[in-house]
Amino acid sequence: MKLPGMKETPLKVLYTEPNITGLLINRMTYLLDTVSPDRRIVVVCVGTDRSTGDSLGPLVGTSLGKYRSPFFDLYGTLEEPVHAMNLDDTLIEINKRVRKPFIVGIDACLGQAASVGCIQVGTGPVRPGAGVNKDLPPVGDIHITGIVNVGGFMEYFVLQNTRLHLVMRMADIIAHSLFSSIMKCTRTATYPAATPD
């Protein structure tokens, strides 16, 4: 049953919640079920491996890449990260290669102390760089973010001093949940392939 307003209200859940993967899979599946069959799912994992806190996106991308799934395109891994220096070019490339992409934007973010460790899923784009006052293009028709540390003071230092265990655990949960959701949705729909280079 689809509850009124469920799509509009972001889900925010702590990574240690006992049923976190079930909650995330349900919400992601709900959002992906709305994707028109003529749109291809593209996952864009934003971040860099040069900063522990900001490595959430590339870690998710690397985990997703292990599945080698034909049902979505993937940008942003530890080997080939999508970050401030190449984000514009990456979005241009996606729109050249994929007709009407449905983009899932994934990024780390900073928040209040009580929210550290929470994973958020919602409609609309993620805004990369907002936590460190960078003006970067928004990414995604829907977004998945992980609150990796406290914001509001010395953001670059805070990102550098984030626990790797927290970031890796959150990345594993996000990758598993998103892949499971995409598989649930693609069982009933055939998504178009990307155009070759």
Q: What is the pLDDT along the chain (197 residues), one digit of tens a residue?
A: 344 455 568 899 999 999 999 999 999 999 999 888 889 999 999 999 988 989 999 999 999 999 989 999 999 999 999 998 999 999 999 999 999 999 999 999 998 989 999 999 999 999 887 656 677 889 999 999 999 988 876 777 778 778 999 999 999 999 999 999 999 987 655 545 555 44
Give residue for tokens 């859940």. Answer: 13
The answer to whether 175 and 136 are in contact (CB under 8 A) is no
- Measured between alpha carbons, how far is 88 from 166 in angstroms, rounded to an integer? 29
- For the entire predicted model, the pTM comes to 0.88
The answer to whether 196 and 46 are in contact (CB under 8 A) is no
Which stretches within the chain are classed as H helix? 20-32, 56-65, 87-97, 155-160, 164-186
C-alpha distances out from residue 92 to 88, 115, 119, Å: 6, 33, 28
- Measured between alpha carbons, how far is 91 from 101 in angstroms, rounded to an integer? 10
